[in-house]
Amino acid sequence: MPISDLSGEVPLRRSGLTEMLVARLLGLVTAGNLKPGDQLPAERKLAETFDVSRPTLREALRALAVLGVIEVRHGGGVFVSQLEASDLLAPLTFFLTLRAAEVEKLYEARKLIEGEIAALAASRGDAAALDELEALIAAQEDAKLEPARYRDVDTAFHRRLGELAGNEFLSRAAQSLNVLGQEFRKTASETPNVISTSIADHRTIVEAIRRRDAAAARQAMVTHMGHVLQSTEAAMKAKNE
C-alpha cells in the first residue's frame, strides 16, 4: 500500500485518537508498508482520512512525536523516525503493559519533572500566560460532568504549563509520561470528587506561580501528583476486585 494511500482506514472517533494512530502507524511499519524515513501524507489528507479536525490531528501527531514514533520537520513535513520496527513498538508495548508497580514509578517521575516545571514557570511565566491557565481551569469546571472532555482540558493545562517553564526537554518528557498514564486516568476520572480535587490542585499551583513562589509551586504540583496517584491506584484496585 502506498504511503500516501490510507483511504482504507476507518475514520476515528475523537476519544482514543492518539492510541489508535500509534497502533495504525506501527501496523504499517511491521507490515513493511511504512518504513523509517518515509514521509506521511499531508496534514489535510490525514485529517480527511481519519475524519478529524486539523487541530485534533496536530495534537495526536505531537503525542506521537513525544513517543519518538514520528519526526516533525518544520516546513518539511512529518516523517517516520529512523528507527527499527522493534524500536517503534517499544513505546506502545510499554504503554500496554504498564501495571500497578509501574504506575507508582510513573508518578514518582511525574512529581520530579512536573514539580520542576511548575517551579520554572513561577520564575518565567508572564501574566498573559497565567491568564491562559486560569481560562483552562475555567474550562475544566465546565467539563466536570464530562470526564472525557475534562481529560482533554487537563492535558492542555499541563502542556501549557510545560511551555511556560521554557524547557522543551522537560516539557516533552512530561507530555510523554502523561500519555503513558492516560489509560489508567480514564477509570479514575469517572470517580466522584476526583475531578473536583484536581481542579482545586490546579488553582493552588497557578496561585503559587502567580506569586512567583517557585518552592510553593513545586510543592503544589508534587501534592497534586500525589492525589492523582492515590485516585488512580484506588480506581485500579476497585476495577480488579
Q: Where are the domains of the chain?
A: 17-89, 98-240
The grid cell for 152 is 482533554
pLDDT recorded at residue 126? 85
Is the per-residue pLDDT at 22 higher than 70? no
Buried b (16+ CB within 10 A) or exposed e, 155-190: bbbbbbbbbbbebeebbbbbbbbbbbbbebbebbbe
How far is Cα 211 from Cα 187, in angstroms, rounded to an integer? 34
- Average pLDDT value for residue range 83-103: 57
Angle between helices 214-240 and 194-210 (to 10 degrees): 170
Buried b (16+ CB within 10 A) or exposed e, 111-122: bebbbbbbbbbb
CB 37 within 8 A of CB 79: yes
Angle between helices 214-240 and 100-124 (to 10 degrees): 160
Q: Looking at mean pLDDT, say which of 14-23, 111-120, 157-166, 176-185 comes out highest.
A: 111-120
pLDDT recorded at residue 31? 63
Helix, coil or strand: residue 72:
strand
Pairwise pLDDT comparison (34 vs 203), residue with the higher score: 203
Pairwise pLDDT comparison (82 vs 148), residue with the higher score: 148
Q: What percent of the chain has pLDDT over 70?
A: 71
CATH fold of 98-240? Four Helix Bundle (Hemerythrin (Met), subunit A) (1.20.120)
pLDDT in tens, 134-189: 999 999 999 998 888 898 899 899 999 999 999 988 988 888 788 777 766 776 77
Amino acid identity, position 114: E
How far is Cα 189 from Cα 149, in angstroms, rounded to an integer? 11
pLDDT recorded at residue 3? 43
pLDDT recorded at residue 99? 58
Q: What is the pTM of this model?
A: 0.63
Q: What residues are paired with 79 via a beta bridge? A: 39, 71
Q: Which of 18-32, 68-82, 113-127 has the lowest mean pLDDT?
A: 18-32
Q: Is the dihedral of CA 73, 180, 190, 192 positive or negative?
A: negative
pLDDT recorded at residue 51? 74
CATH class, range 17-89? mainly alpha
Is the per-residue pLDDT at 109 higher than 60? yes
- Average pLDDT value for residue range 199-204: 97
Q: What is the rounded (10 degree) CA torsion for 139, 141, 144, 147?
A: 30
How far is Cα 192 from Cα 31, in angstroms, rounded to an integer? 43
The pLDDT confidence band at residue 10, using thresholds 50, 70 and 90, is: very low
pLDDT recorded at residue 101? 62
How far is Cα 234 from Cα 145, in angstroms, rounded to an integer? 20
Q: What percent of the chain has pLDDT over 90?
A: 32
